[in-house]
Structure 1
């Protein structure tokens, strides 16, 4: 019997006994990652902010896959809320072994519209929150001498795009953050990597104003593989980086973009 997500036998559960916290896990890449980690055997904490119905839906799918988990709501821009979230996860399902920093926002502002407030907000929700959550879980990883941190960046960190200067800057900063943290934590058996998704088809893109949406055929024309990327494409890479097969992989940036940019 195989899982619908990974095509793996249900007996092949390399993350059995591990606890994974995924932020921004109620929808899109985060939800797909949560399901994939659960299919690999991890107990999952579904991080979200005021998306209780969707988070509970993901949790139901996790249980159908034969794993367990919880949903946990937190405003990651509040340092106290981050601490409480990590304490809740630890108390209910155990200390975090695997952290997937996926939460973020996609604010679009022209350069002329980018003021101090817009700039600070974009960096906070796409970079600083990942520092906060990572800082809250790494002391436990160091004590146990094992851990995985996977940060979700964006192809715009390298390609750039009009209207996304602050967003692209934050996502580029996430790559530097991952590389430096990999050097800090490597001696403690902790691997830190970044995934760099390209044009992934998620529900959130439907909420963008029409004039901000790229045509699918234009997106596909940039790639070597002529199809839209899917959240499961990113999730599969994250599960690899979270697992035992990636124990000698750290400080890397893995593009999942259909060959949009050659890395």
Structure 2
């Protein structure tokens, strides 16, 4: 017997969380190989005037769905442009890119936003309730985690209750999370092994898994509550019908049957009289 759709979706969400963690671990393990490939190109770009603007445009573009690559680019920017310039380049670039995505889906891509709602129709309303319950603290926590922003930004854009200002405040209050990949790139180039970087990665993973677990738990609770309410409503209707007096129902049925029989008999008599 196939698993319920809700269970499949929950398993899918858990799988996404695991993939994010695996990606973060692989990035931490193979960052040297990635930098060895990309560093020569990045160093040539860094020699150009106002080169950080090129990096800003690249990471802004990677923040607009369906393009990818925020974390590797942030790592590279930290390695080439350093901790200070690199961090603000990454944060401003991502903010610009995600602002474009937010505004586009809210005001210019209404059909796409509607398709997004319809594609996730079965579960969209549930997640809206979760966000409404958690309000801005939950929005901030989702922003702070490393859940895919290509999904969360589009989701937030489809919520009329969430203003752009509210979303922007949540972004800036959580932007320090981008220190993790930028500082990792900076440490690699300067041959530093910092405990702070390891702590940052671990905290990011913990926050992401914690947020994902909270969303799954609340999702199941709201789904079960909705199912229970629906069951109770159906039971109330059945109880109401059962409470109706059966005598009056049977009497009406007998009266209708009697009237029908009288009509049939009169028609037969009429036909017989014509035959004679």
TM-score normalised per structure 2: 0.28
Structure (1 or 2) with the greater strand fraction:
1
The structure whose Rg is larger is 2
